[in-house]
Each structure stands twice: as structure tokens, then as C-alpha cells.
Amino acid sequence: FKRSMVPLGVQRLWTAMTRTKPVDRDMMSTPLNRCLSTMDLILLGVGNMCGAGIYVLTGTVVKKKAGPATFLSYLIAGFTAFLNGLCYAELGSRVPKAGSAYSYTYVATGEFLAFVIGWSIILEYVLSAASIARGFSGTLDALTSDSVSNWTIKHIGTFYTQAPNTTSDDYLISYYPDFMSVLLVLIVAVILSLGANLSKHFNTVTTSLNVIILVFTTGIMFSLANTANWSSHAFMPYHFSGVLSGAATCFYAFIGFDAISVSSEEAKTPQKSLPIATGVSVLVVTILLVLASAALTLFQPWELIDKKAAFTSALADRQLPWAMIITGIGSITGIVAALYCNNYAMPRVVYAMATDGLLFRQLAYVTPVTKVPIVAIIATSLLAALLAFLLDIEALADFLSIGTLIAYSIVACNVIILRYLRPQMANYPPIDAGQDTATEVDEASICGDAADDRRRISDGCLDADGKAGNAGGVNRPGAGGGDGGGPTSQLGENIGRLKYYFRNIPVLRRMNPGIGPIIALLVIIAGIIGASLTVNIGLADLSRGHPLAVLLLIFFIIVILFGFFVMLVHEQDKDIETFKVRFDFIIKKLTD
């Protein structure tokens, strides 16, 4: 139907939801301090991934899902994380700004989805910070024979008159106030407030110590390994399906590599450093986790491994208390490093949203001395400390971790979208690195009196006839020549259009540039969802060769292949000078 048939209010709402953020002409301009080297970014990624996950997840996966084949689960999860990391590396090098998935979504998809993704990431970071902090206090309590919890209960009190029965009920409020986790969160906040140039040394020490101790523990277990633990016991007690199920659980150990892209606005050379740091950190963590899990199951029969404290309990069972103490120290340093990396990235996302006007402007304030978003650091740290103090956060954090997985999928989609729709370049002067972030561009000079919202984004305006215009350079799909309304070169004018030999395909030839690949992407996603549901719900019918189930699966596979074909017949942006993922559409599907 025609645009004139759509009510003016709906047009305005759609324009506001789909307007995209233009990319700064000067990518390196920022009020933050660009002081992070490639090694600093690698340590940031390793510290965030190789934290509590290896000590907490391994025992559960060994006991309930994969047995001695747990190292294969970590290998599969690491490969999946590597594919996700490639997508983050491409977008991070093209848009080296704080915000990570939020910023990429704002540039590629639009404001509404970016707002949802941004809040999802913030909530995930806050809950993760609270969970890590409580994990620290729990680990310290276990190493000191419950002296911390006993002292708190005796001298301060509890939230319940009697201890809750955690085996039968889930309680949101913890049994006793956790002052230790609050203290840790506040200490990390103080360290972060000193500036990235100083606080990065704290991460270097804690992450390096954690890696050294993990390598030491792995070496001890390999030196005392018994191959009979693999030969005399079932190597895959839960079959290959258990390995795949374990890989899904092990993937949570790799969540955190996106902290590298969040810190891109503080990297010295983001176009070069981000791809290297992302790839190296995921590779290093994968090797560490694969070797550690293999050593554990060779060191002790998998049936005897404690799912809550796999490494320390195994060393204790073999009468190696000194090694158990060293491993316990490693778990403590790993948790502290993970909390630092998590809380380092958390306020940067808040800062990015506040800079764009989607949160309070005060949260975007950057102190001129240390060049960090100090207000965002204080606000997010206090919230995380409050949650860690009051709540038993584990169940809620597990539930909301789906937000991170959604963000990873959206980033992979954004890679494809920006291959067929070039992002719009900003039409305002670049901001000087020393200028206050609260400086705004008077949008009235771009859109006339219709703009009452002063944001550093490209907003759409309505002309006298009530039709949506593109005076502000809104990068709506199909607007302009497929290049987002920015300056175009001869090489880039065919982006999103049909290739020469396919230019006469019906329906597709009448679409605006970039629309066909986006529709194809949606078709592929629908096909993948349909095929997944068919396999999960109708697995028994498929194994019996039921005609309806088989035909339904074949139909969804054909839908996916059709979407691939539509993408292949369109021109991509071949002028990308930064890191570029090859066969990105295949990678996106493998990632899913």
C-alpha cells in the first residue's frame, strides 16, 4: 500500500524506531583514553573467559553430560565462540566505539532494537557481576571451612528465621547478607576509577596468575594421569548427544570475549588490535580449557569427580593438599579477574547509550583526569553490589543469560546487513578527543524546526505533506542508493543490488538495494527455527522415517538454501578496508 495510507503518527513512530546512528568520520575521536595495546585486550578477553567457568562448569558437565569426553565439549564450544568472535572483530574494527553489540545494532538495524539489546546487555553484566562476586565469597568461604558465613550469621544475623531448604525451594533473597561480595565489587570499582591506563595492570597480574596456576594444575594432573580412566570406563557415557549438550553448557565459559569489543574506544589501534585480540584470546582459552578438562578426567575417574569443586576435590582425594591450596588460590584470582573484566565492560555500555541520549546524559560524563565514565562506573557498581548483598542471584542469572546469546546472534546478523547496506557517515564535524561528551549537535540545523530532540544521531523529518523524508540522512532500508545516504563512490554504488547475470530475476529486480538480502536473512532465520523445532519435537518420528516429519524437514532445508541463493546473487560491499570475515553468511549459520 501507499505511504499516504499510513497515519502520520505511525510514520513518525516507525521513523524513530528504525533510524540508525551514523558512523563518525573520525573513528578515533573519543573523550576516553586510548591506552590499551593488543596484549592488554588479549588479557582482558582471557581474564573474562578463563575465570570461574572452568572451576564451576567442568564438574557438572563431566558428571551429568559428557564424562571423559568433556574436553570435546569444550572444543566444540570454543569453535562456536571463535565464529562469534570473528563477527565481533569485523564490526569492532569498522565501528571502534564503546557499546559493542548495542552500537553495532544502532548502526546496522535501528534505534529500537539497539535499545532492547543495550538494556539486555546491561542487565546481563549487572547480574553477572553479582553472581561472580557471590562466587568469590562462596569460594573463599569453602577454602576457610565456612568461617566467613559462620561469622556473618553469628554476629550480624540472617534474612530468615531458619535456613531455607534449597533442595526443594528456590529463594530469591539469600540466607544471609553477603558483605564480602559487596566489598569486592566496591574495591574493583575503585580500581576502575583510577583509569584504564592504571587499572589494566591489575588485570594483567590477576589474569596472568590465574593462567599460570591453571597450567600448573593441569601439569600436575597430567603427570599423575591414569589412561585406564578412559579405557576401562565409558569414554562417552552419555553418547555424542551428551557431548553436544555439554558443549552448550561449556559455551557459557566463553561468554565474555565481547568485553574486547566494548573496550574498542580505548584501544590504541582498534582496527588492528581487535581482530587479533579476539582470535588469540578465544584460542588460548580453548586450549587451556580442553587440556584442563582432559587432565581432570585422566587424573580421577569421572564417576568420582565432585561437580561443585572438581579440581580441588580431586587433588584432595589424591592426598595433595598443597596442590589443592594452590588451585584454590587460582580459582580466587580467576574470579577476581573475571569480575574486573566484567565490571570494566559494564559501564562502557551504559556510557555508550547515555552518549546517544537513550539513558540519562549524566551517565556519559567522563572525568578529565582519569578519562573514564566515572558516573556509569559508580551507578553500575552500586547496583551490582546491592544485588550481590541481597539476592541469591544464580537462578536468575542463568535465566537471563539468554540475553547474551541473543546479542551474539544479532551481531552476526548485523555483519550480513552491513555487507549489503553501507552504514551512513555522520554529517556533523568530528568530535575532538578532549571535548566533553555532553556536546550536542543542534539537529534543528539539519531537520529544521521538526527536531526537538538533540541527539548525535541521524533523525528523520517529515516534509510539509507529512511524508517521511531523509533530510537528516536516516538510513532506512532502501533509502538512497543502498549506501545509507552517505557519500558514494563508483565502486560502492552497486552495494545491495543484483549481480549482473541475475539482474532480471522477477520480484528481486524491483526491490530497493539491500532489501533482498535482508529478506533472505529473515527467511534463513525462519528456516533454521523451523528445522530446529522439527528435529527437537519430531525426533522420534524422524528416526522412524515418518513421511510428514521428513517432508517438513526437507521443506525447511529448501527454505534455508533458497535464502542462501538470494544472498549470493546480490553485490556485497567490497570496499571494506578493515578486518573482514570471509563467507560470513555461512559463519553466521554455523554460529547459530
Kindly state whether residue 461 falls inside one of the protein's structural domains.
no
What's the rounded mean pLDDT across residues 292-305? 89
pLDDT on residue 433: 38
pLDDT on residue 394: 56
Does the structure show a pLDDT above 90 at 188?
Answer: yes
pLDDT on residue 465: 40
Does the structure show a pLDDT above 90 at 477?
Answer: no
- Considering only residues 457 and 276, tell me which one the structure prediction assigns the higher pLDDT: 276
Query: CA 444 to CA 424: how far, in whole Å?
Result: 19
pLDDT on residue 587: 46
Percent of the chain with pLDDT over 70: 79
Query: CA 45 to CA 66: how far, in whole Å?
Result: 26
Angle at 249 between CA 245 and CA 253, to 5 degrees: 145
pLDDT on residue 108: 84
Residue 4, number of CB atoms within 10 A of its CB: 10
Give the pLDDT confidence of 526-567 residue by residue, as tens digits.
999 999 888 888 878 888 888 888 999 999 999 999 999 998
pLDDT on residue 136: 82
Give the pLDDT confidence of 76-127 residue by residue, as tens digits.
999 988 988 888 888 888 888 888 888 888 888 888 888 988 888 888 888 8
Kindly state whether residue 29 falls inside one of the protein's structural domains.
no
What are the grid coordinates assigned to 458, written together? 541521524
- Considering only residues 568 and 233, tell me which one the structure prediction assigns the higher pLDDT: 568
Residue 209's CATH number = 1.20.1740.10
- Considering only residues 253 and 209, tell me which one the structure prediction assigns the higher pLDDT: 209
Query: CA 461 to CA 470: how far, in whole Å?
Result: 7
- CA distances, 95 to each of 11, 88, 257 (Å): 29, 10, 17
pLDDT on residue 137: 81
Does the structure show a pLDDT above 90 at 39?
Answer: yes
Closest CA to 92 of 515, 405, 418, 484: 418
Kindly state whether residue 502 falls inside one of the protein's structural domains.
no
Does the structure show a pLDDT above 70 at 2?
Answer: no
Kindly state whether residue 533 falls inside one of the protein's structural domains.
no
Query: CA 486 to CA 425: how far, in whole Å?
Result: 5
- CA distances, 259 to each of 49, 89, 328, 553 (Å): 10, 11, 25, 38
Sequence-distant (6+) residues with CB within 8 A of 517 are 416, 417, 419, 420, 496, 566, 567, 570
Binned at pLDDT 50, 70 and 90, residue 511 comes out as confident
Amino acid letter for position 200: K
pLDDT on residue 460: 40
Does the structure show a pLDDT above 80 at 211?
Answer: yes
Kindly state whether residue 336 falls inside one of the protein's structural domains.
yes
User: Domain range spanning residue 232?
Assistant: 36-420
Give the pLDDT confidence of 328-344 residue by residue, as tens digits.
888 889 889 989 998 99
What's the rounded mean pLDDT across residues 134-155? 76
pLDDT on residue 373: 92
pLDDT on residue 26: 62
pLDDT on residue 501: 84
Give the pLDDT confidence of 376-420 residue by residue, as tens digits.
999 999 999 998 888 766 555 555 566 777 888 888 888 888 888
pTM for the model stands at 0.77
pLDDT on residue 160: 64
64: burial class by Cβ within 10 Å (0-12, 13-18, 19+)? Answer: middle
Query: CA 62 to CA 58: how far, in whole Å?
Result: 6
pLDDT on residue 318: 84
| Highest-scoring range by mean pLDDT, 156-165, 193-202, 540-549 | 193-202
The count of structural domains within the chain is 1
Query: CA 53 to CA 75: how far, in whole Å?
Result: 15
- Considering only residues 165 and 61, tell me which one the structure prediction assigns the higher pLDDT: 61
Kindly state whether residue 296 falls inside one of the protein's structural domains.
yes
Angle at 488 between CA 484 and CA 492, to 5 degrees: 90
Binned at pLDDT 50, 70 and 90, residue 4 comes out as low
Query: CA 56 to CA 54: how far, in whole Å?
Result: 6
- Mean residue pLDDT of the chain comes to 78
Kindly state whether residue 389 falls inside one of the protein's structural domains.
yes
- Considering only residues 13 and 298, tell me which one the structure prediction assigns the higher pLDDT: 298
Residue 435, number of CB atoms within 10 A of its CB: 12
Does the structure show a pLDDT above 70 at 459?
Answer: no
- Considering only residues 534 and 165, tell me which one the structure prediction assigns the higher pLDDT: 534
Kindly state whether residue 45 falls inside one of the protein's structural domains.
yes
Does the structure show a pLDDT above 90 at 219?
Answer: yes
